[in-house]
Amino acid sequence: MNRSNVTKQKLLDAATEIIMDQGVHQLTLDEVAKTAGVSKGGLLYHYPSKETLLTAIVERLQTEQNELYESLQQDGYGPVEAFVRLFDETRLYPEHSPLEIDAEKMIAFLTLFAVEQDYAERWKNDLDTFFKQFQQTKDPVETMIIRYALEGMMMSEHFNVGVPPTELKQQIIARLIERARNIDTT
């Protein structure tokens, strides 16, 4: 990784740390530069505004999610089962690290959408394209039920409302994986 990319990663790590520790409303460019040990000019060279910094954080999360999804498929999981495993934070299947997006990152994500309409529209179009392709299974209704169950559980956890006990969550994930396998196998 070249020096510029190392600096960018340090800045994104610092911004994420600030969001995690203090909340998105405490995120300032001055604080990011200080936390990363980078000059303010260095920060502004890579991320000229708070919005570009938030965009980069979200893009990094999306890249990580996309890479994990592709990795799961390369390991032999079908597309629906790979999608379920993206949400498997119960660590039932330790061969892969689950995608972790917590409430503060979700708030940063939603804040970005509020201030960057162009980015929000691109993201929406990308997701629409993904889910149109995703539901092209032998049972699109079951596929979408699995999707909505996972997204509902994720939102429940993000906002800490109605979170199932760990054992129940493990059972839900296991059942969704079983159902996904039935869809993925021809």
Assign 3-class secondary structure to 9-72: HHHHHHHHHHHHHHCHHHCCHHHHHHHHCCCHHHHHHHCCCHHHHHHHHHHHHHHHHHHHHHHH
Q: Are residues 92 and 28 in the same domain?
A: no
Query: Quick check: 7 and 42 in contact, CB under 8 A?
Result: yes
Q: Are residues 61 and 43 in the same domain?
A: no
Q: Are residues 41 and 66 in the same domain?
A: no
Burial of 80 (0-12, 13-18, 19+ CB in 10 A): buried
pLDDT of 127 reads 85
pLDDT of 136 reads 92
Q: Are residues 138 and 172 in the same domain?
A: yes
Two tokens, residue 60 = 């990094």
Could you read off the pLDDT tens digit of each residue along the chain, which spans 186 residues? 788 889 999 999 999 888 878 877 788 999 999 999 999 999 999 999 988 898 888 888 888 888 888 999 999 999 999 999 987 754 444 444 444 445 555 665 666 666 677 777 888 888 899 899 888 999 999 999 999 999 898 888 777 889 889 899 889 999 999 999 999 985
**Counted domains in the chain:** 2
Q: Are residues 19 and 70 in the same domain?
A: no
Q: Are residues 14 and 91 in the same domain?
A: no
**With b meaning 16 or more CB within 10 Å and e meaning fewer, what string describes 131-160?**
eeebeebeeeebbeebbebbeebbeebbee
How distant, in Å, are the alpha carbons of 4, 11, 81, 86, 158 from that of 89? 33, 27, 14, 8, 12
pLDDT of 62 reads 81
Residue 22 belongs to what domain range? 1-48
Q: Side chain identity at 176, as an amino acid letter?
A: L
How would DSSP label each residue in 78-96? -HHHHHHHHT-TT-SSTTS
124-163 tens-digit pLDDT:
888 899 899 888 999 999 999 999 999 898 888 777 889 8
